[in-house]
A and B are shown apart, each in its own frame.
Chain A
């Protein structure tokens, strides 16, 4: 299987534009999440989902929307891009949500630049 996949790998936006970052996993994982990683920093949680139809906010949710219509897909939407959203975005998934110790598997990332 492909694991966690993300598209696009790179994206440049102008301030005010909108776009959707795609994330998909083929491991039938219940839990999926989005993180952003800024230079010299760790990952910060944006949104997460514990199953289809269920989403919740993480540490830095402002400016982002998510939905989870299927188990496989968890897209992240930027409604009106701002330069502060320039970052590398990682999607992750884990098998279940019954235990916080489930290992999270990360995608390769999307590098977003907002001009």
Chain B
């Protein structure tokens, strides 16, 4: 069945370092992927997305990489800041399906 999960439940980094959060998916039909950030007590907030016809997409301080061969997705955060501390979720979807499947989340802790 479908499964979207994360390799590391908690990631601790020093302020200013780069962070990499990983996600694996098993549905080869998935063609759209999103990263969400969820701060404590708040709803998920969209960060960046990528379609399956791309292998890399960059935003402001964030980059998403997609490796369809091994069904792996990663979120890279450059120069991590204390405000980046949150739980990060990957989510996936495929054409024709009207719902997202979320992974279980990775908590990013930024040490000052």
Contact = CB atoms under 8 A, between A and B. Distances in A.
Nearest to B90: A42
B100 A101 contact: no
Interface stretch (A14-22, A78-86, A103-111): A103-111
A59 B51 CA distance: 23
Task: Give the size range of A's interface with the partner.
Answer: 20 to 34
Interface string A51-93: 0000010110000000000000000000000000000001010
Contacts of B60: none
A2 interface: no
Interface in B90-104: 91, 93-100, 102-104
Contacts, number: 61
The residue among B41, B43, B95 with the most chain A CB atoms within 10 A of its own CB is B43
A50 B98 CA distance: 8
A43 interface: yes
A106 B42 CA distance: 9
Contacts of A40: 9, 104-105
21 contacts: A4-B43, A31-B98, A33-B99, A41-B104, A42-B4, A42-B91, A42-B103, A45-B99, A48-B99, A56-B98, A58-B99, A59-B99, A90-B43, A97-B98, A100-B94, A100-B96, A100-B97, A101-B32, A103-B46, A104-B46, A108-B42
Interface of A: 4, 31, 33, 35, 40-45, 48, 50, 56, 58-59, 90, 92, 97, 100-101, 103-109
Given A4-B43, A97-B98, A108-B41, 18 more contacts: A35-B102, A40-B104, A41-B104, A42-B89, A42-B91, A48-B98, A56-B98, A92-B43, A100-B95, A100-B97, A104-B46, A104-B100, A106-B36, A106-B43, A106-B44, A108-B42, A108-B43, A109-B42
